[in-house]
């Protein structure tokens, strides 16, 4: 049995984060000590690692809650459901990547047009563009 600080340290998060996850219905200790301390089992630890892996994959806590529901009763779901979630997330990420790429290109174009020299910015093409494009 781990106490909250031990599990937190082991998983490189803070105890506050674990309490936050608990309050938000992602993850609770299997039991409490007689004085009210949270006690986590190895199984709880695996549970937390699942959450942290999903988070590292870019899932929001809300989405992780869905994944946990599926994981908790796998037989009620189809592979198609799970794959659908992952592909939707990948597509969402792709849209953001595209958007940011366009932005980066615009910025690079802006930067390329500026001489970048040490003289006064009175004639700076970047400011001119922002002012009047």
Partner DNA sequence: ATAAACCTTGGAGTTAGGTCTAAGGTCAAA
Partner DNA sequence: TTTGACCTTAGACCTAACTCCAAGGTTTAT
CB neighbour list of residue 85: distance below 8 Å, 6 or more residues apart: 63, 66, 67
Using the rule CB under 7 A, give the single segment among 7-15, 81-89, 110-118, 119-127 that binds DNA: 7-15
| Angle ∠(64,101,112) on CA atoms, nearest 5 | 150
20 sits near DNA (criterion: CB under 7 A): yes
Site string for DNA, 93-132 (x = CB under 7 A): ----------------------------------------
Q: Any contact of residue 33 with DNA (CB under 7 A)?
A: yes
Task: Map the footprint of DNA across residues 54-83, applying CB under 7 A.
Answer: 55, 60-62
What is the residue whose two structure tokens read 């020299």?
A: 117
Interface with DNA, residue 89, by CB under 7 A: no
Q: How far apart are CA 120 and CA 117, in angstroms?
A: 8
Distance CA(2)–CA(29), nearest Å, equals 9
Taking CB under 7 A as the rule, does residue 4 contact DNA?
Answer: yes
Angstrom distance (rounded) from CA 44 to CA 29: 7
- Which residues of this protein are in contact with DNA, per CB under 7 A? 3-6, 13-17, 19-20, 32-38, 55, 60-62
């Amino acid at each position: 049995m781990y106490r909250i600080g031990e599990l937190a340290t082991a998983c490189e998060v803070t105890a506050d984060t674990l309490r936050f996850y608990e309050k938000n219905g992602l993850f609770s200790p299997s039991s409490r000590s007689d004085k009210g301390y949270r006690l986590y089992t190895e199984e709880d630890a695996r549970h937390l690692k699942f959450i942290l892996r999903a988070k590292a994959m870019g899932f929001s806590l809300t989405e992780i809650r869905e994944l946990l529901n599926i994981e908790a009763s796998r037989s009620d779901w189809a592979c198609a459901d799970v794959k659908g979630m992952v592909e939707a997330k990948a597509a969402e990420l792709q849209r953001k990547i595209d958007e940011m790429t366009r932005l980066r290109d615009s910025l690079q174009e802006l930067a390329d047009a500026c001489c970048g020299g040490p003289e006064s910015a009175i004639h700076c093409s970047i400011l001119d563009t922002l002012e009047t494009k």
